[in-house]
Structures are given as structure tokens and as C-alpha cells.
Amino acid sequence: MKLNLALLPGDGVGPEVLSQAVKCLQAVEETFNHQFIYREAPIGAYAIDKYGTSLPEKTLDLCKTSDAILFGAIGDPKYDNNPEAKTRPEEGLLELRKSLGLFANIRPVKAFSSLSEKSPLKKEIIENVDFIIYRELTGGIYFGEKKTNEDGTIASDLCEYSEKEISRVAHLAFKAAKNRDGKLTLVDKANVLESSRLWRKVVSKIAESYPEVKLDYLFVDNAAMQLILNPRQFDVILTENMFGDILSDEASVIGGSIGLLASASIGEENALFEPIHGSYPQAKGMDIANPVASILSAAMLLEHHSLFEEAMAVREAVDKALKKGVVTTDLNEKSQYGTNQVGDFIADNIVDSDEPFTMNDENIDLGKSTII
Ligand code: IPM
Ligand code: MN
């Protein structure tokens, strides 16, 4: 298969984690005889510094004409701490999502058994956790009207949703639930918010067309608690933009590190794949950032193009790295491995994915294993 891929490294550790994902895609090309063409474009703080805008037109054009977009990370502290800043790096990503109509953000959360000791949550709580968050991505409070009064003492952000915005992401979530364990949880704040009441109305109507799926509802404050009390109860979570943003960061503690969570942002015509973590500016250029989320985002990209065997080879190589302790220091503070070495190990194992896995998983003491 031939695929045109847009690479948007962005800020902070974005470029270094993205390069590891590209290494893995190159290993897939070699092993499975595909041809991927990579074209890079600026976005975020990097683009503001160079071109005065966080989303240059040529970046948007490249994305529109690509088969998929692989994104690194966005954000820079020099903007975070300056409320007066005229333009912000994050605007580039938001504008990109909006312009490409990437309305569904899909964030799988899975507890890797090899990392069960790593999570701050108890092993019995996180064992076998496997759910997926469908976050609406181009509506709600992120994109509603923003206002500040003249003397700058009152500000507001409007949270608005239309039936259409709710139903298109809801259908995707119902389809996913139908192919999984058949359970969909709508997370909202319908006891307070009018927009949440519209979500309930629209989603419960759609549920009638999916009799195989059991729909239940949870208020977002309770959902935040349930995610850490009993995360196994979830199969597919459907929620609006901001609740999804917050809950997916919370859910990342289940796996032990936010550096493991990948995501896909899907629209009618385009699709973008990115780690859910931020730009982690303190780690920039230090070769310590975890590349796994970016590599798993590449696996989601392959699945999106129905390259299932290829995606599986990537996932198996990631599992092997985790089991053998070839991980960055967020997963094992004594680890000797840097971003690049973890990327190399995973890419090498994609090429050799037929090789039998000879080490006994049970005996691998994460962090103590030695790889030569
Ligand atoms: C995410 C990020 C973005 C968001 C930021 C960078 C705008 O936190 O993808 O979750 O809030 O959506
Ligand atoms: Mn976020």
C-alpha cells in the first residue's frame, strides 16, 4: 500500500517521539512491503516563532492532501504563563481539528499486565482494564463564543452543541461498543447543564437503533470517581469535548504513565494520530520522553487504513519492550534506556516479529532485566 503521511512534530518532545514512530513505520514498510511517503510541516510554538502563526497555510494544505497525519505534541511554557499572548501554540491544533472536521477523538485505555506495578492504583483494580473513550472534538466549550468585557474583569466561554454534532460521534461510539462488549456509558452533567440534557436526549434516541448495546449514563463527577474506583466497569465511554479531555488524562494513570496513551482523531475525510500527552518541555532534547504513545498512535494509523497485521506487529513489539524492561525512566526510574533506544528496540522487533519470544514473561523483573 502507498500512503502519503503528513508529519507534524510540533513542540517540546514532539519531534523526538515522532521520529520513533516514523522508525517503526519504516520497519513496517520494510517488513510488509509498503511505501509510505513522509512530508513534514510546522505547527505550534515552533511555527509561531518561524512564521508568526501556529498553523501556517502550507501545513493545513499538506494535511488536507495526505492520507493521514501523525502529530507530535504542542505547547510552550512561554505562552502558558502569559495571558496577554496574542497567539497560542494550542490554537494551531484546535484550528487543525476544526478545519479538517476531526469530530471524534478515540482514546483507548488498556492496562499492560507487565506494568501493573507501575500504576499508583492497586493491581487488583487495574487488572484487565480495557476501555475506550470517544471524545467529541470540534464542539462544546472549546469552540463556543469567547468573550471578555471591556475592562477585562469578566470572561465567558459558551458551551454549545447541536444534535448533529452529538449524533455523528455517538454513532461511532455505538458501533465501537457493538464490536466490543456492548456497553456504552454516556458521561455528562445533565443534572446541571442544558447542553448535557441535549446529549442525553439525542444519545438515548440513537440507542434504539443499537439494541445490542446497553446504554447507561453517568454524571461526570461520579465518572471521575468511578474511573479510579472500578475502571473495569467501562467498555466505551462517550462524552463531550472538555469532559473527555479531563477524563482521558485521569484514565492515563491506569496504565502507569501518560506516555503510553495513543489517540486517533477522525473526521469524514481526514484522520490525525497523536499521543495524548503534552509537549513536556522540561524533557525536550534530553532523550528521556516515552515514545510508546507516539508509536501506538502509528499503530492506530495503520488500523485506520485496515493494515491490521502490521498494526499487530507494532503492538507486539511494544509489548515486548515493556515486558523486557526496555522502557524510559517514567516507567522505571533506574532504566538506562533513552527515547531513541526504546524506539530502535521496538522498530527492530517489528522487523523480526516472527522470531519466537524466548524469555519467560513471568520471570522478567521490570527494570532488572538486561538487554544487550
Ligand atoms: C489534548 C490536549 C489539547 C486539548 C490541547 C493541547 C489543546 O490537551 O489533545 O488532549 O485540550 O484538546
Ligand atoms: Mn488533554
* Percent of the residues in the chain that have a pLDDT greater than 70, as a whole number: 95
**CA distances from residue 280 to 123, 175, 236, 275, 332 in whole angstroms, order as listed:** 27, 34, 28, 12, 18
pLDDT tens, residue by residue, 288-336: 999 999 999 999 999 999 999 999 999 999 999 999 999 999 999 999 9
At 355, the pLDDT band (50, 70, 90 cuts) reads low
Predicted local confidence at residue 256, as pLDDT:
82
Tally Cβ neighbours within 10 Å of residue 224.
17
Q: How far apart are CA 194 and CA 313, in angstroms?
A: 45
List binding-site positions for substrate: 97, 107, 135, 221
Tally the C-alpha atoms within 13 A of residue 70's C-alpha that lie toward its C-beta: 33
- Whether residue 363 is predicted with pLDDT greater than 60 in this model: the reply is no
CA–CA separation, 196 and 235 (whole Å): 21
**Residue 366 pLDDT more than 90?**
no
Annotated binding-site members: 97, 107, 135, 221, 245, 249
Active site residue 189: yes
So what's the pLDDT on residue 354? Answer: 62
Give mean pLDDT, residues 93-102: 97
Strand (E) or helix (H) holding 77: helix 77-80
Residue 49: which H helix or E strand, with range? helix 45-51
Size of the chain in residues: 372
Question: Could you identify the residue written with the cell 510552550?
Answer: 76
CA 224 to chain centre: 18
Grid cell 522487533 in the structure block, residue: 349
Distance CA 178, CA 152 (A): 48
Rounded to the nearest integer, the mean pLDDT of the chain is 93
* pLDDT for residue 362 is more than 80: no
Q: How many whole angstroms separate alpha carbon 272 and alpha carbon 217? A: 29
Beta carbons of 212 and 180 less than 8 angstroms apart: no
Q: By CB neighbour count within 10 A (0-12 exposed, 13-18 middle, 19+ buried), where does 139 fall?
A: buried
Mean pLDDT of 7-31: 98
Closest protein CA for atom 11 of ligand 1: 245
> Is the minimum distance from the CB of 188 to ligand 1 under 6 angstroms?
no
The bridge status of strand 183-188 relative to strand 262-266 is: unpaired
Answer whether 276 contacts ligand 1 (Cβ < 6 A). yes
Domains, the chain: 1-102+267-372 (3.40.718.10), 112-261 (3.40.718.10)
Pocket test of ligand 1: the residue of 245, 248, 263, 273 to mutate, having most ligand atoms within 8 Å of its CB, is 245
**Angle CA 349–319–31, to nearest 5:** 30
**pLDDT for 80:** 83
What digits encode the pLDDT tens for the residues 182-239?
Answer: 999 999 999 999 999 999 999 999 999 999 999 999 999 999 999 999 999 999 999 9
In 3D space, the residue among 107, 99, 88, 103 whose CA is nearest the CA of residue 10 turns out to be 88
d(CA 68, CA 205): 33
pLDDT > 90: what percent of the chain? 88
Q: How many CB atoms lie within 10 A of CB 194?
A: 10
Cβ atoms of residues 135 and 261 within 8 Å = no
